Amino acid sequence: MLLYGLLYGKDGNAIEVMRLDTTFKESWKGYIPVDRSLFIASAKLYDKNIYMLLKDRFNPLAEFGVMAINIDNGNYTMRRVKTMLAFFPSQFVITDHAALIGGYFNYRPLVLYYNFKTAQSKILPGFFNEVGDLDQIRTDEAGNIDIVVSGKGFNRRRSLWIRSYDRNGDLTKTLWLQPEEDKDLIFGRTLGQPGGNQIVAGVYGRNTEYSRGIFIANINAYGEYTIKYYNYADLQRFFNYMKAKREKRIKDRIERRKIRGKKTKFNYRLMVDELLPYGDGVVMLGEAFYPHYSYPNGRITINAMYYYLPRPTAMSRGDLVFDGYQYTHAVVIGFDKEGNLKWDNSFEINDVRTFQLEQFVKIHPEREKISLVYLFDNVIRSKVIKGSEVLEGKSYDPLRMVFTDDVVRERDTRKTVLNHWYGSVFYASGIQDIRKRRDIEGSVSRRVFFVNKIAYK
């Protein structure tokens, strides 16, 4: 495990890096001086190096810094990457040959390509045409690049463009993935398949904010594709996060409309977090959420499903204050290699509200089961499934403290991360405000950065 952080000092700033083994014993530790204006925008582990993307916090036209630190001994190299345009990085990907930095210029997506061998940078061709979203930058073992961009096409319907590049950043092909006439492809992720084939999965709907279901496209090596659509009403366990009575009302309504030959349309905000190979097919993980608003004298919620806002009686809509994104549940869907829906399952997300959208639920697929876990308010929530079957229901496991007299209250844990480490072991990290058990309502005794090792048996 590598721990790193930016340290501020009166004589200058430095990046502190240390390597720990699986027992948390320190292998090595070092400090790398950096300019005061730089901050760490992103970090990626690739092969035997951790690559850090450094950005100037004051000058948007300043060069990027790409630092490579060897994980065996801490030796490092620093490369300067010309930006050409002022943009803030949103994605950072490393290959054997290059660093890829994705972002936006004038609301238009772009990807900056930096070649490690030639020390030259360029904007990858094929962008700047229309306003759009940079959905994904994916690379394979040979260094080839696929970039997924969503935006409106010539028919004014939202579509997906998949641009493919060789390892030198030269454009090799462009595929325009178009939806049916009454649908929009809002977001998509791609996964490479044997023989040059691809699978693309994401969400579709009728506008850019709310989705009505899941789509999956199977693309062959010649660029020919088929798309299959699955309405949220087609999923068996999508509404399991609701209370039993409400779930029953929803499912009864779906059945009544089916009998009358009508479809039930639901509108959700759903992030597609991961698309992974699993068995002889693929599995997709997504998280549903909705924006939460408040009035100065109380709170209201804009419902994720029926996205209407009650008309205020005494205040105008301009008095609403955004209060963060409220997560409702994660959905896991299994498809075969042809894109046929095999099973679906869900995982309720409790109490999570954040001002920045990020992936909370992590997935760990194994041969006979899939573990779903997330960390919030110092408690690990987990669920183990096998297809649509639930092997282990939701469990709650508080993080252990170093000292028995220490206690952490709700909302005293921030910037938490929970990820798979190795085997059946996960790690959790973040910042905690520690209080003494004998004085739990008193002031914070100390603030710490913590790392916990969690083994699931």
pLDDT in tens, 80-104: 999 888 888 999 999 999 999 999 9
pLDDT value at residue 296: 63
Residue 130 has pLDDT above 70, yes or no: yes
Residue 17 pLDDT greater than 50, yes or no = yes
Q: Which domain holds residue 54?
A: 1-81
* Dist CA 29 CA 152 (whole Å): 49
Which residues, 6 or more positions from 295, have their beta carbon under 8 angstroms from its beta carbon?
A: 312, 315, 319, 320, 321
pLDDT tier for residue 154 given thresholds of 50, 70 and 90: confident
Q: What average pLDDT does range 290-298 have in this prediction?
A: 76
**74 located within any domain:** yes
Confidence of residue 155 (pLDDT cuts 50, 70, 90): confident
Of 51, 55, 62, 35, which Cα lies nearest the Cα of 98?
51
| 429, containing H or E segment | strand 425-436
Q: What is the pTM of this model?
A: 0.88
pLDDT at 298 over 70: no
Q: How far, in whole angstroms, is CA 62 from its chain's centroid?
A: 28
Is residue 110 situated within a structural domain?
no
Is 359 within a domain? Answer: no
Provide mean pLDDT across the span 238-264.
Answer: 90
Averaged pLDDT of the chain? 89
Tell me how many domains the chain contains.
1
- In-domain check, residue 394: no
Burial of 159 (0-12, 13-18, 19+ CB in 10 A): buried
Which pair of tokens denotes residue 391?
């092997």
- Asked whether residue 288 carries a pLDDT value surpassing 50, the answer given is yes
Q: Is the pLDDT of residue 362 over 90?
A: yes
First-last CA distance in the chain: 21
With cut-offs at 50, 70 and 90, classify the pLDDT of residue 444.
Answer: confident
φ, ψ dihedrals at 241, nearest 5°: -70, -20
- Inform me whether the pLDDT recorded for 7 exceeds 50: yes
When pLDDT is cut at 50, 70 and 90, the band that residue 318 belongs to is low
Residue at 10 is within a domain: yes
Cβ neighbours, 10 Å, residue 435: 20
What is the rounded distance in angstroms from the CA atom of residue 212 to the CA atom of residue 216? 14
With respect to residue 47, please indicate whether it lies within any of the assigned structural domains. Answer: yes
Residue 185 lies in a domain: no
Has residue 39 been placed in a domain?
yes
- Listed in sequence order, the residues at least 6 apart from 320 whose beta carbon sits closer than 8 Å to its beta carbon are 293, 294, 295
Give me the residues paired with residue 151 across strands: 132, 159
